[in-house]
Chains A and B, each alone.
Chain A
Amino acid sequence: MKQHTLSVIVEDKPGVLARVSAMFSNRGFNIHSLAVGPTHVDGRSHITLVVDAPELEQLKKQLHKLVNVIKVQELDTTEALESEVMILRVSCAPAGRGEVSDTASLFGARMTDLSQNSMTFEVSGTPNHLASFVDHMKPYGIVDMVKSGRVALKKLSDVSPSLVGGNSQ
């Protein structure tokens, strides 16, 4: 099944998230990732959903029928600014810290916790960026990992996301 990213603006009221997520579970679609947070407008929340579904036309219309839903938008990866946050812990003896740190810094990851046998990093970026970070940390032994839901906004420029993030420094 195809993965779709949906951006849904809703009223910030109790029960709204349940109504939105139920729309997917009712049809047997899995929600791959979910992020909810306030917007710059009082009383409005932004829900970003990544769902596995064959097609979303009918579902978008049904979402829009929910009284508390204000706007529904499907975001194509090529036209979206997407970001996720991850906290990742790798096992690491004191002697190996230098190498792990060097690798992590290539991804812009920030060390947030250090123990005798592990290092913990926080990293944010596109889903690809995070996936690549995970790949490079795997050899050291990932002990624990948590990832936020994806947040996304529609891009207004024609520039591709890799160019926007990559060479700005």
Chain B
Amino acid sequence: MTNKPFTGSNSLLLSLEYEGVEVIFGVPGGAILPAYDPLLDSPIRHVLARHEQGAGHMAEGYAMATGRVGVTMATSGPGATNLITPLQNAKMDSTPLVAITGQVGTSAIGSDAFQEAYTTGLAMHCTKHSYLVTDADDIPNVIHEAFHLAATGRPGPVLIDIPKDVLNAETEWYEPTLAGLPGYNPTTDGHPRQIRAAVEMIEAASQPVLYVGGGVIKASASPELFEFAEAMNAPVVTTLMARGAFPDSHRLHLGMPGMHGAYTATTAIQNADVLVSLGARFDDRVTGKVDAFAPNAKIIHVDVDPAEIGKVREADVPVVGDARNVLRAMNERVRTLRETTPAPARDAWFAQLDSWATSHPYSYDQAADGPIKAQYFIERLHSLTNGNAVIVAGVGQHQMWASQFWSFAEPDNWVNSGGLGTMGFAVPAAVGAKTARPNDLVFALDGDGCFQMTFQELITAAVEDIPVKVAVFNNGGYGMVKQWQNLFYGGRISASDLGTAVPDYPKLAEAMGCVAFRVTHPDEVDVTIEKALAVTDRPVVIEVVVDPDEMCFPMVPAGGSNDDVVMGPEEL
């Protein structure tokens, strides 16, 4: 080997190794080419996605299944613009992500050069922060700062745009510092006075609800939440982003609240006298009509991001801090309290909750002759895997059913696109999750509409030896869109029919190097799942032909009050 100079690209790769990166999901191209050369000699694995959006979602899936920072890399121009959706998705769901994009040479910036886009400008509103590196000597500090920003405080995506000449410039690597972040100091410990006030308020409540959001997962605070809920004898609801933060089987768990949530969870919040938001953000899918949300509740709002507090609903006890630190501090107080005082029984509250749960369960009708209901398939999959799987979903009816009918026992086993609602998320995110956790079963539950947006990443899975499993619920259309058209647009089905004739999913899957099955009858569900589980060396696709008319309930119509949960179409 000749004595090549040490360049910005070498520094970049060394920095990524220094940050402990084990895999990059990316697609090469002109401007980022210099970085791909030293990658050949690096211990860091590169997974070659078939589209930059796929690469971005893979990095998100990796991050959500591990809590570590996901890394994606793309070239300038179209490579960078294709990353915009994953960046915004990661921003909305607070997923730690670092995106590295190539840029045209410094002297060509602003000249409409080939494959030029104003990447940092485009990324300004869909990242936590972004960098344009103009000096190769800055690379170690910038990468270090980016990983710190992505992972700490409220996590999120950070983009680093590096012009080609900077990647090629001769430089030196040095031990980086965070001295360049004088304005970044997230508050992670709750104020002791607020923590004391919160505990006292919950203790005195007769109808409290712990409203648990994705922040509890990001903060790895499940054990602390478990201790707190039990010690306070307070019921728990987990939002779409928090599924698995608290075991679904626990007597205190009421399920997911909101638009398609469990009746008991939604109604408990409406009747709460104290609502304790832990890393949740009063999203409109949870609150419904804000003015009618939890009308009698005093609000305790715990969030690491001060801008969330008071954004949607005024908090009576605001607590700025990381969910784990705050829960630990609250647990300490409660332990002392329990030495002298038993936990409040709240018998009347629990009797009321039980009665709602009994009268308003999630339900569906699986006829013996079919058609298959997606809910049935999900329940059978759970049973046949004992729930030991990372479940990944796209967006729509299938996502809601997955959240409703999969009983989660642990955090980090649920990967989905919550805030942005990005259709097509499941396949690439599953590839990322499986890359992170090769020994775990990673099962994407996808809709046919979503699948058709990103299925090409199954080629990545097959070629890169990432054996994910994907169930495609084929109802021949955009089910949730159709549901709204049926319910609110007089049944006028506009542009939501995909048809069932094309594509032939098993053939398509086989062409991409997957093992494929099609299941059309309820009797075949178990045996098909077992066959799919038996394949461990290649990706598997199961086309599940499901009832095209099935709708997702419960439902609170958009903009409606959460007092008006609709249990089925007959109630509308």
Q: Which residues of A contact B (CB under 8 A)?
A: 10-11, 14-15, 18-19, 22, 26, 57-58, 61-62, 64-70
Give B162 Cβ to nearest chain A Cβ, in Å. 15
Q: How far is the CA of A38 from the CA of B181 in the complex (A)?
A: 18
B129 touches A62 (CB 8 A): no
B129 neighbours in A (Cβ, 8 Å):
66-67
Give B277 Cβ to nearest chain A Cβ, in Å. 16
User: Could you say which of B44-52, B306-314, B369-377, B380-388 contacts chain A?
Assistant: B306-314
B181 touches A64 (CB 8 A): no
8 Å CB contact of B183 from A18, A58, A70? A70
Q: Which residue of A lies closest to B128 (CB)?
A: A67
A22 touches B125 (CB 8 A): yes
* B112-125 interface code vs A (CB 8 A; 1 in, 0 out): 00000000110011
CB-contacts of B119-167 with A (<8 A): 120-121, 124-125, 128-130, 132, 149
A19 touches B128 (CB 8 A): no
Q: Which residue of B lies closest to A65 (CB)?
A: B307
**14 extra A-B contacts, CB within 8 A, seeds A14-B132, A26-B125:** A10-B183, A11-B183, A15-B120, A15-B124, A15-B130, A15-B132, A18-B121, A22-B125, A58-B307, A62-B307, A64-B307, A67-B183, A69-B183, A70-B183
Q: How far is the CA of A67 from the CA of B150 in the complex (A)?
A: 11
A69 neighbours in B (Cβ, 8 Å):
183
Give A33 Cβ to nearest chain B Cβ, in Å. 23
Determine whether B182 belongs to the interface, using a CB cutoff of 8 Å to chain A.
Answer: yes
| Chain B interface residue count, Cβ-Cβ cutoff 8 angstroms | 18
Indicate whether A67 sits within 8 Å of B132 (C-beta atoms), given known contacts A58-B307, A61-B306, A62-B307.
no
Q: Which residue of A lies closest to B306 (CB)?
A: A61
A57 neighbours in B (Cβ, 8 Å):
310
Q: How far is the CA of A61 from the CA of B309 in the complex (A)?
A: 10
B183 neighbours in A (Cβ, 8 Å):
10-11, 66-70
Q: How far is the CA of A150 from the CA of B132 in the complex (A)?
A: 30
A15 neighbours in B (Cβ, 8 Å):
120, 124, 130, 132
CB<8 Å pairs between A and B, sample of 13 = A11-B183, A15-B132, A26-B125, A57-B310, A58-B307, A58-B310, A61-B307, A66-B183, A67-B128, A67-B181, A67-B183, A67-B184, A70-B183
Residue among A11, A22, A67 with the highest chain B CB neighbour number at 10 A: A67
B149 touches A67 (CB 8 A): yes
Q: How far is the CA of A26 from the CA of B307 in the complex (A)?
A: 16
Q: How far is the CA of A69 from the CA of B181 in the complex (A)?
A: 10
B121 neighbours in A (Cβ, 8 Å):
18
Residue among B120, B183, B184, B310 with the highest chain A CB neighbour number at 10 A: B183
Indicate whether A11 sits within 8 Å of B120 (C-beta atoms), given known contacts A22-B125, A65-B305, A67-B129.
no
A66 neighbours in B (Cβ, 8 Å):
129, 183
Give B207 Cβ to nearest chain A Cβ, in Å. 30
A22 touches B184 (CB 8 A): no
B181 neighbours in A (Cβ, 8 Å):
67
Give A16 Cβ to nearest chain B Cβ, in Å. 10
A70 touches B124 (CB 8 A): no
Give B119 Cβ to nearest chain A Cβ, in Å. 12
Q: Which residue of B lies closest to A71 (CB)?
A: B183
CB-contacts of B335-350 with A (<8 A): none
B311 neighbours in A (Cβ, 8 Å):
58
Give A29 Cβ to nearest chain B Cβ, in Å. 15
CB-contacts of B407-435 with A (<8 A): none
Give B152 Cβ to nearest chain A Cβ, in Å. 11
A61 neighbours in B (Cβ, 8 Å):
306-307
Q: How far is the CA of A62 from the CA of B154 in the complex (A)?
A: 13
Indicate whether A11 sits within 8 Å of B182 (C-beta atoms), given known contacts A22-B124, A22-B125.
yes
B310 neighbours in A (Cβ, 8 Å):
57-58
Give A21 Cβ to nearest chain B Cβ, in Å. 11
Give A22 Cβ to nearest chain B Cβ, in Å. 6
Q: Which residue of B lies closest to A15 (CB)?
A: B120
B125 neighbours in A (Cβ, 8 Å):
22, 26
A10 neighbours in B (Cβ, 8 Å):
183
Q: Which residue of A lies closest to B311 (CB)?
A: A58
B124 touches A19 (CB 8 A): yes
Q: How far is the CA of A18 from the CA of B123 in the complex (A)?
A: 12
Q: Which residue of B lies closest to A68 (CB)?
A: B183
Give B215 Cβ to nearest chain A Cβ, in Å. 15
CB-contacts of B286-310 with A (<8 A): 305-307, 310
